[in-house]
Amino acid sequence: MDDELPERLREVEDELTALLRRGRALSWEIASEVHPNLEPNAYGLLLWLRRSGAIRLTDLAARLGVGKGTLSRQIHSLETLGLVRRDPDPNDRRAAQLSLTEEGQRRFDAARAPRLGQIRRALETWPQRDVEELARLLRRFNDAWG
Protein backbone atom coordinates (compact mmCIF):
# COMPACT_ATOMS: atom_id res chain seq x y z
CA MET A 1 0.00 0.00 0.00
CA ASP A 2 2.78 2.48 0.89
CA ASP A 3 4.44 1.81 -2.48
CA GLU A 4 1.28 3.01 -4.23
CA LEU A 5 1.01 6.25 -2.26
CA PRO A 6 3.56 8.35 -4.18
CA GLU A 7 1.98 7.43 -7.54
CA ARG A 8 -1.50 8.20 -6.20
CA LEU A 9 -0.27 11.54 -4.91
CA ARG A 10 1.13 12.31 -8.35
CA GLU A 11 -2.23 11.40 -9.88
CA VAL A 12 -4.00 13.71 -7.42
CA GLU A 13 -1.56 16.49 -8.26
CA ASP A 14 -2.10 15.96 -12.01
CA GLU A 15 -5.88 16.12 -11.68
CA LEU A 16 -5.73 19.04 -9.26
CA THR A 17 -3.47 20.95 -11.68
CA ALA A 18 -5.94 20.36 -14.53
CA LEU A 19 -8.84 21.46 -12.32
CA LEU A 20 -7.01 24.61 -11.16
CA ARG A 21 -6.05 25.53 -14.73
CA ARG A 22 -9.68 25.18 -15.76
CA GLY A 23 -10.77 27.15 -12.71
CA ARG A 24 -8.42 30.04 -13.45
CA ALA A 25 -9.66 30.24 -17.04
CA LEU A 26 -13.23 30.19 -15.77
CA SER A 27 -12.51 32.94 -13.25
CA TRP A 28 -11.09 35.17 -16.00
CA GLU A 29 -14.09 34.50 -18.21
CA ILE A 30 -16.73 35.05 -15.54
CA ALA A 31 -14.98 38.13 -14.13
CA SER A 32 -15.00 39.84 -17.52
CA GLU A 33 -18.69 39.01 -17.94
CA VAL A 34 -19.58 40.41 -14.52
CA HIS A 35 -17.80 43.68 -15.34
CA PRO A 36 -15.18 44.50 -17.97
CA ASN A 37 -12.95 46.18 -15.34
CA LEU A 38 -13.19 43.37 -12.80
CA GLU A 39 -9.95 41.65 -11.81
CA PRO A 40 -10.11 37.86 -12.41
CA ASN A 41 -9.10 37.13 -8.81
CA ALA A 42 -12.27 38.84 -7.66
CA TYR A 43 -14.46 35.95 -8.85
CA GLY A 44 -13.74 33.87 -5.73
CA LEU A 45 -14.47 36.89 -3.59
CA LEU A 46 -17.81 37.47 -5.31
CA LEU A 47 -18.63 33.78 -4.93
CA TRP A 48 -18.06 33.93 -1.16
CA LEU A 49 -20.12 37.10 -0.86
CA ARG A 50 -22.92 35.53 -2.90
CA ARG A 51 -22.85 32.43 -0.73
CA SER A 52 -22.62 34.12 2.65
CA GLY A 53 -24.88 37.13 2.13
CA ALA A 54 -23.46 39.69 4.56
CA ILE A 55 -20.08 39.06 6.15
CA ARG A 56 -17.47 41.08 8.00
CA LEU A 57 -14.20 41.79 6.22
CA THR A 58 -12.17 40.05 8.94
CA ASP A 59 -14.33 36.91 8.68
CA LEU A 60 -14.08 36.90 4.89
CA ALA A 61 -10.30 37.38 5.03
CA ALA A 62 -10.02 34.40 7.38
CA ARG A 63 -12.17 32.21 5.12
CA LEU A 64 -10.19 33.13 2.03
CA GLY A 65 -6.82 32.97 3.76
CA VAL A 66 -5.77 36.47 2.69
CA GLY A 67 -4.66 39.52 4.62
CA LYS A 68 -7.14 42.20 5.59
CA GLY A 69 -5.16 44.86 3.70
CA THR A 70 -5.22 42.90 0.45
CA LEU A 71 -8.88 42.09 0.85
CA SER A 72 -9.73 45.67 1.72
CA ARG A 73 -8.15 46.89 -1.54
CA GLN A 74 -10.10 44.27 -3.52
CA ILE A 75 -13.34 45.22 -1.78
CA HIS A 76 -12.72 48.91 -2.48
CA SER A 77 -12.35 48.08 -6.18
CA LEU A 78 -15.62 46.11 -6.12
CA GLU A 79 -17.35 48.99 -4.33
CA THR A 80 -16.10 51.42 -6.98
CA LEU A 81 -17.60 49.17 -9.67
CA GLY A 82 -20.94 49.16 -7.80
CA LEU A 83 -20.83 45.40 -7.14
CA VAL A 84 -20.29 45.39 -3.36
CA ARG A 85 -21.51 47.57 -0.51
CA ARG A 86 -20.58 48.07 3.13
CA ASP A 87 -23.30 48.32 5.74
CA PRO A 88 -22.90 48.91 9.47
CA ASP A 89 -22.59 45.69 11.44
CA PRO A 90 -25.60 45.58 13.78
CA ASN A 91 -23.52 43.71 16.38
CA ASP A 92 -20.48 45.99 16.32
CA ARG A 93 -20.74 49.65 15.30
CA ARG A 94 -16.99 49.81 14.63
CA ALA A 95 -17.26 47.14 11.94
CA ALA A 96 -19.04 46.84 8.62
CA GLN A 97 -20.67 43.96 6.82
CA LEU A 98 -19.94 43.38 3.16
CA SER A 99 -22.49 42.14 0.68
CA LEU A 100 -23.22 42.18 -3.01
CA THR A 101 -25.33 45.04 -4.30
CA GLU A 102 -28.45 44.08 -6.24
CA GLU A 103 -26.52 44.90 -9.42
CA GLY A 104 -23.55 42.85 -8.26
CA GLN A 105 -25.77 39.87 -7.50
CA ARG A 106 -27.61 40.19 -10.81
CA ARG A 107 -24.38 40.42 -12.82
CA PHE A 108 -22.70 37.60 -10.89
CA ASP A 109 -25.68 35.25 -11.25
CA ALA A 110 -26.02 35.99 -14.97
CA ALA A 111 -22.31 35.36 -15.62
CA ARG A 112 -22.25 32.24 -13.48
CA ALA A 113 -25.38 30.55 -14.89
CA PRO A 114 -23.76 29.14 -18.07
CA ARG A 115 -20.94 27.60 -16.01
CA LEU A 116 -23.37 25.96 -13.63
CA GLY A 117 -25.07 24.55 -16.72
CA GLN A 118 -21.74 23.11 -17.88
CA ILE A 119 -21.18 21.48 -14.50
CA ARG A 120 -24.73 20.12 -14.53
CA ARG A 121 -24.19 18.62 -17.99
CA ALA A 122 -20.83 17.11 -16.97
CA LEU A 123 -22.42 15.42 -13.96
CA GLU A 124 -25.89 14.61 -15.34
CA THR A 125 -25.08 10.93 -15.90
CA TRP A 126 -23.54 10.53 -12.44
CA PRO A 127 -25.62 9.00 -9.69
CA GLN A 128 -26.73 11.60 -7.13
CA ARG A 129 -24.70 9.91 -4.40
CA ASP A 130 -21.52 10.29 -6.51
CA VAL A 131 -22.18 14.01 -6.97
CA GLU A 132 -22.73 14.36 -3.23
CA GLU A 133 -19.55 12.39 -2.54
CA LEU A 134 -17.55 14.55 -4.95
CA ALA A 135 -18.75 17.70 -3.16
CA ARG A 136 -18.00 16.15 0.24
CA LEU A 137 -14.48 15.08 -0.76
CA LEU A 138 -13.65 18.44 -2.36
CA ARG A 139 -14.86 20.24 0.79
CA ARG A 140 -12.79 17.90 2.95
CA PHE A 141 -9.71 18.46 0.77
CA ASN A 142 -10.15 22.26 0.84
CA ASP A 143 -10.65 22.24 4.60
CA ALA A 144 -7.50 20.14 5.09
CA TRP A 145 -5.45 22.30 2.72
CA GLY A 146 -6.43 25.66 4.16
How confident is residue 4, by pLDDT bands cut at 50, 70 and 90?
low
pLDDT over 90 (residue 79): yes
Number of domains in the chain: 1
The secondary structure of residue 40, as a DSSP letter, is: T
Tell me how far the alpha carbon of residue 22 is from its chain's centroid. 14
Residue 97 sits in a domain whose CATH number is: 1.10.10.10
CB 64 within 8 A of CB 55: no
The domain in which residue 12 lies consists of: 5-145
Query: How far apart (Å, rounded) are the C-alpha atoms in residues 48 and 60?
Result: 8
pLDDT for res 100? 97
Q: 2 — phi, psi (to 5°)?
A: -65, -30
- Pairing between β-strand 92-100 and β-strand 55-56 as defined by DSSP bridges: antiparallel
Q: What are 115-140's pLDDT values in tens digits?
A: 899 999 999 999 999 999 999 999 99
**Percent of the chain residues topping a pLDDT of 90:** 49
pLDDT over 70 (residue 146): no
**CA dist 15 → 9, 10, 22 (Å):** 10, 9, 11
